[in-house]
């Protein structure tokens, strides 16, 4: 008998089962199992070398796992075709210095073979989303670090991804700009209901952003704890409830 639809279990945006990865003799990841719901923000938190980037690379399809199973929107990664649904934002903004801001944002659309006029419209729309519409014709060197970060975010969003993978994208920004980027990311994530997996080694950043924090430990990289964060937003680091979660996670690390 079929289950009543109200009881049907939603398909996770990402499902990892017993993922493992070796590099030569080094066991980088062992037994990683995790489901990420659609529209959820998950932070991967851990010290250097615990396999955060390796895990993100596996989820993005850049790196094959040695063992285990990855499903995207219910489909096995081996038969998943629409990798454009997944955007990746790196630690460096990777803007091309010889391209205008608009052309940098439109870059992600070139692989989709869309028409030039359409690319321009979409790039300008993405720049409007990150409140940089006035800078479409500027060059990367003319922008501050925070603005460049917003351009990188616009370039990730222009392809209208369902999943956004972020590898310490704000780690090079000063604390104030970084806090602004957190709010910017949360605003856009809610607007588009994007699933976000965010790598960080900063406990406070994880608590400000995430619905759940996955604490990883090294050698081999594996999950030590998964902590749901039931805190109202916006989360201010000096608030008692927020700083208490930061304290508990620091202990878990
Ligand atoms: N391409 C590779 N070849 C060999 N070893 C690798 C490779 N990529 C990662 N490693 C090793 O795998 C382990 C996990 O690396 P990874 O970069 O995923 O960790 P991380 O948690 O993201 O670290 P960090 O916070 O410093 O970026 C490390 O010991 C690293 O040296």
pLDDT tens readout for residues 31-90:
999 999 999 999 999 999 999 999 999 999 999 999 999 999 999 998 888 888 999 999
Query: Atom of ligand 1 at shortest distance to CA of 21?
Result: 12
54 forms beta bridges with none
Centroid of ligand 1 to alpha carbon of 216 (angstroms): 13
Pocket test for ligand 1, best of 54, 88, 90, 199 (most atoms within 8 A of CB): 54
Average pLDDT over residues 213-237: 94
ipTM over 0.85: yes
Is 168 among the domain residues? yes
Nearest to 70 by CA among 35, 23, 43: 35
Strand pairing of 26-36 and 14-23? antiparallel
Nearest Cα residue to atom 14 of ligand 1: 51
Is 123 among the domain residues? no
* Residues belonging to the chain: 253
Is 65 among the domain residues? yes
**pLDDT of res. 252:** 84
Is 222 among the domain residues? yes
Is 124 among the domain residues? no
Residue 10: CB atoms within 10 A of its CB come to 9
**Residue labelled with tokens 């202990």:** 251
Is 83 among the domain residues? yes
Pocket test for ligand 1, best of 44, 52, 90 (most atoms within 8 A of CB): 52
**Residue labelled with tokens 């993978």:** 165
Query: Atom of ligand 1 at shortest distance to CA of 201?
Result: 25
| SS3 assignment, position 152 | helix
Is 16 among the domain residues? yes
Residue 58 belongs to domain spanning: 9-95+161-252
Query: Atom of ligand 1 at shortest distance to CA of 54?
Result: 18
Query: Atom of ligand 1 at shortest distance to CA of 216?
Result: 21
Domain with residue 22: its CATH number is 3.40.50.300
Q: Please check whether residue 133 is in contact with residue 127, taking contact to mean a CB–CB distance below 8 angstroms.
A: yes
Q: Exposed e or buried b for every residue in 119-140, given b needs 16+ CB within 10 A?
A: bbebbbebbebbebeebbeebb
Nearest Cα residue to atom 24 of ligand 1: 48
Torsion of CA 221, 178, 148, 53, to 10 degrees: 0
Prediction pTM value: 0.92
Distance CA 163, CA 198 (A): 11
pLDDT band per the 50, 70, 90 thresholds, residue 190: very high
Q: Please check whether residue 86 is in contact with residue 14, taking contact to mean a CB–CB distance below 8 angstroms.
A: no
Name the domain count of the chain.
1
Mean pLDDT taken over the chain: 91
Cα atoms found within 13 Å of the Cα of residue 247, Cβ hemisphere only: 7
**Residue labelled with tokens 């104030």:** 176
Nearest to 165 by CA among 155, 177, 154, 156: 156
Q: Is the CB of 72 under 6 A from ligand 1?
A: no
């Amino acid at each position: 008998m079929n289950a009543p639809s109200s009881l049907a279990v939603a398909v996770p945006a990402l499902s990892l089962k017993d993922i493992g990865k070796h590099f030569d003799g080094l066991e980088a990841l062992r037994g990683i199992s995790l489901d990420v719901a659609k529209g959820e923000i998950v932070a991967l938190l851990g010290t250097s070398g615990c396999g955060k980037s390796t895990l993100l690379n596996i989820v993005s399809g850049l790196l094959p796992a040695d063992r285990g199973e990855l499903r995207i929107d219910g489909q096995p990664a081996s038969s998943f075709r629409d990798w454009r649904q997944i955007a990746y934002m790196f630690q460096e903004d990777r803007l091309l210095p010889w391209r205008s801001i608009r052309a940098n944002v439109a870059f992600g659309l070139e692989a989709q073979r869309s028409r030039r006029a359409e690319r321009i419209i979409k790039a300008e729309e993405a720049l409007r989303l990150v409140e940089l519409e006035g800078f479409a014709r500027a060059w990367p060197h003319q922008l501050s670090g925070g603005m460049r970060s917003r351009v990188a975010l616009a370039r990730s969003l222009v392809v209208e991804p369902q999943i956004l993978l972020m590898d310490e994208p704000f780690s090079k920004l000063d604390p104030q700009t970084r806090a602004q980027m957190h709010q910017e990311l949360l605003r856009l994530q809610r607007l588009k209901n994007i699933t976000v997996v965010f790598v960080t080694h900063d406990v406070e950043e994880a608590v400000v952003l995430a619905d759940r924090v996955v604490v990883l430990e090294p050698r081999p990289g594996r999950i030590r704890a998964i902590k749901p964060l039931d805190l109202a937003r916006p989360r201010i680091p000096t608030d008692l409830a927020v700083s208490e979660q930061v304290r508990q996670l620091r202990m878990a690390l």
